Structure 1
Amino acid sequence: MRPFTAALVLATVVATGASAQTTPTGRPAAPDAGTSQNSGGQQSVTRPNTDKATPEGMPAGAHTNAKLERGANSFTEGEVRSRLEKAGFTDAQNLKKDQDGIWRGTAMHGGKSVPVGLDFKGNVAAQ
């Protein structure tokens, strides 16, 4: 490739990459959300809720007092089963996503069947 042609290709690639990094700010799809201009940045925690004290006899990551949050839940049933197992539950049954986007069902823990839930952030709760 000629030096002039190579420089032209490089300049085009650099200019195209820089223009693709802009983010439009407009009205968000969620009716109760603010725009990116006045929201102050991300305000919710998007990691599993594992910083609360674990109730006696419950596995790490499972909280009987954890508040499961409503939201658009993209977890598949297989991912829900996996997260429940990581939290110490076995034999998950009747898993269904409710109208609030929370997966609910029952699972075994300590030889007992308990109601469980998983929200869009990955929080697991025995209810």
Structure 2
Amino acid sequence: MRASLSILAASVILAGSALAQTTTMPPAGSPPAGTRPASPGTGGPTGSSNPAVSTGGNAPSSVNASGTAALVAMTALEKGANSFTEGQVKSRLEGAGFSNVTDLAKDGDGIWRGKAMRDGKSVSVGFDYKGNIAAG
């Protein structure tokens, strides 16, 4: 009985290591390893479908295809763990056409809020974890 258990244990260990060494080959005609086709409409490699993740270029997610800022309503800003730093938020806001960005502080919902100038007017601004910008 003891010998049977030892043989069974050895078989399981050997089978597991054999499986761990198995490699899969890409289908014939697929791109070489390490390359990925461009995502439709982006020109960049395929990647995350998360809009907060930029897979091509350095444009923030709050800039639309025409290169202008895509502003959302203050109520559309989403709560969440915001990993943007104050400097990054200020840079994104300035890139979206705001100037004199001041009083930036992250609220309890993870949304950066502050004040800025746009078109000669003082506005309240918000910036969420996805890179959405709001002004009001």
Q: Structure 1, residues 44-103: CA drift from partner, whole Å, max 9, x if none?
A: 532524459x9xxxx921425361111000111100110001100001111000000000
Cα distance in 1 between the residues matched to 2:128 and 2:112 = 6
Give 1:78's aligned amino acid. Answer: G
For residue 63 of structure 1, what is the aligned residue in structure 2?
71
Which SS does the other structure have where 1:100 is aligned?
coil
Aligned partners of 1:60, 1:75: CA distance in 2, in Å?
Answer: 21
> Which whole-Å CA distance do the structure 2 matches of 1:78 and 1:49 have between them?
16
User: Is 1:123 the equivalent of 2:132?
Assistant: yes
| 1:102 is the counterpart of 2:115 | no
Alignment of 1:1-127 (within 5 A): 45-46=51-52, 48-51=61-64, 60-65=68-73, 67-127=76-136
Task: Give the alignment's TM-score, normalised by structure 2.
Answer: 0.52
The Cα RMSD (Å) is 3.0
2: CA distance, partners of 1:92 / 1:124: 13
Residue identity matched to 1:68: L
Contact 1:61 1:123 (8 Å CA) reproduced: no
Give the stretch that moved more between structures: 43-52 or 105-114. 43-52
Paired residue total: 84
Segment of structure 1 superposing worse, 98-107 or 66-75: 66-75
Gaps of 5+ in 1: 1-14, 20-41
> In the alignment, is the contact (CA less than 8 A) between 2:63 and 2:96 conserved in 1?
no
Maintained 8 Å contact 1:117/1:126: yes
Counterpart position of 1:23: none
Please, which runs of 5 or more residues in structure 2 have no aligned partner?
1-16, 22-47, 54-60
Share of identical aligned residues, percent? 51
Greater relative contact order: 1 or 2 (C-alpha under 8 angstroms, separation 6 or more)? Answer: 1
Normalization by structure 1: what TM-score? 0.55
SS of the aligned residue for 2:71 comes to coil
Note closer, same or farther for the CA distance 1:64–1:43 as it changes in structure 2 (3 Å cut).
Answer: closer
